[in-house]
Amino acid sequence: MMKRIDSHHHLWDLKDVHYPWLMEFGKPRFFGDPTPIQRDYLLAEHRAISHNHGFVASVHIQVGAEDGLAEARWVDQVAHANPEWPMVQVAFCDLTAPDRDVQLDQFQALPSVVGVRQIVGRSPDEDAKNGTNALIADPEFKAGLHSLASRGLSFDLQLIPELMKPMGKVLEQVPDLQVALCHAGSPYDRSSDGIVKWAAGLAQLSALQNVSCKLSGLGMFDHDWNAGTVRPIADVVMKQFGPDRVMFGSNFPVCSLSSSFDELMERHMAIVPEEHHKAVFHDNAERFYFKGSQSS
């Protein structure tokens, strides 16, 4: 069986790290009702459900802890305790913070940290309240991106299609920064018009050779999804980015709200052309996050 790397998943131990959104019960999120996942999700469980599909390594993505450094330290401990499962992580840092570089020094003291994610876009309503566009226009945010590039850290970009054009203009100015676009750019509007607008926005990012794209989170905005319903999304991603800049990510346990891991894999195997499976399910993630070193 081909070895695979999961480029996007989460873990949490609710006793060790505080995640406000996981403790806020009865509140629907952009991706649905989180009630079924408001429990511990540990590496042993993730390995158990992914092992039969050939997964041998993974990338942990920050997931809204109250204290990003506390989360990163916990994940680093998990990685250190499980050397037979290579796991690196993308931590949270507010790139506009006055002590940004002090924080980045602390993150880089943890061997497992290879990148940063600061969510740029969640949902239209949340973005309107949180002033996300102001973040994109903030010179300190751009300075933070430059700092990541100079340190050899990558940036995981999560946003919605409406923000792709202005974000693309920012990233044009940071060509040395390696960027991974999460969840195919969150195409939450699955109408024909919505897909057309998403694809047009995506072109602003795919034109930048330092930006890669994750085929992940495809069930977040349509819990009745199947290979047929998301094939148009995958086709656009593969065409725009090419097979060498696309990575698979399970987004578990969040995407367990819309499918089992087995169903998730069956659908992704169907929507990615077989000749590109090795690149999308292993090689590209190894090169991007593990710097091409032997991760498995």
Q: Each residue of 88-147: pLDDT tens digit? A: 999 999 999 999 999 999 999 999 999 999 999 777 777 766 666 788 999 999 999 999
Q: What is the pLDDT of residue 125?
A: 74
Q: What angle do CA 267, 273, 278 make, to 5 degrees?
A: 95
Q: Could you give the 3-state DSSP secondary structure of residue 9? A: strand
| Model confidence pLDDT, tens digit, residues 279-288 | 999 999 999 9
Map out the domains of the chain as residue ranges: 4-289
R_g of the chain, CA atoms, integer Å: 18
Q: Is 179 left (phi over 0), alpha (psi -120 to 50) or beta?
A: beta
State whether residue 281 is helix, strand or coil. Answer: helix
Cα 21 to the center of its chain, rounded Å: 18
The answer to whether residues 63 and 12 touch, using CB atoms and an 8 Å cutoff, is: yes
The residues, any chain, with a CB within 8 Å of residue 159's CB and separated by 6 or more, are 119, 120, 121, 132, 167, 185, 186
- Give the number of residues written for the chain: 296
Residues 141-166, mean pLDDT to the nearest whole number: 97
Q: What is the pLDDT of residue 295?
A: 58
Average pLDDT of the chain?
95
Three-state SS string over 64-84 comes to CCCCHHHHHHHHHHHHHHCCC
Residue 231 confidence (pLDDT) above 60: yes
- pLDDT for 98 equals 97
pLDDT in tens, 63-97: 999 999 999 999 999 999 999 999 999 999 999 99
CA–CA separation, 87 and 64 (whole Å):
19
User: Coil, helix or strand for 61?
Assistant: strand
**Residue 294 predicted with pLDDT over 70:** no
Q: Is 55 helix (H, G, I), strand (E, B) or coil?
A: strand
- Residue 39: pLDDT over 90: yes
Task: Determine the residue type at 54.
Answer: G
Return d(Cα 58, Cα 79) in angstroms, integer: 10
The pTM (predicted TM-score) of the whole model is: 0.96
- pLDDT in the model for residue 265: 98
Residue whose structure tokens are 């990233």: 171
The alpha-helical segments, DSSP class H, found in the chain are 43-50, 68-81, 100-108, 124-130, 132-137, 139-151, 164-172, 192-206, 227-241, 261-271, 277-278, 284-289
pLDDT category, 293, cuts 50, 70, 90? low
Any idea what the Cα angle at residue 254 is, between residues 267 and 209, rounded to 5°? 70
* Residue that wins the pLDDT comparison between 235 and 124: 235
Contacts of 202 (CB under 8 A, 6+ apart): 161, 164, 184, 185, 213, 236, 237, 240
pLDDT in the model for residue 150: 98
Residues paired with residue 58 on neighbouring β-strands, in sequence order: 6, 87
d(CA 28, CA 221) in angstroms, rounded, equals 12
Q: Would you tell me how many other CB atoms lie within 10 Å of the CB of residue 257? A: 19
pLDDT(237) > 80: yes
Q: What is the DSSP letter of 91?
A: E
pLDDT of 207 above 70: yes
**Spatial separation of the C-alpha atoms in residues 92 and 143, rounded to whole Å:** 16
One-letter amino acid at 187 equals P
CB 130 within 8 A of CB 106: no
Low-confidence winner among 119-128, 163-172, 191-200, 243-252 (lowest mean pLDDT) = 119-128
Decide if pLDDT at 292 tops 70.
Answer: no
pLDDT tens digit string along 195-206? 999 999 999 999
Phi/psi at 223 (nearest 5 deg)? Answer: -75, -5
Quote the percentage of the chain above a pLDDT of 90.
Answer: 89
Domain 4-289 has CATH 3.20.20.140: yes
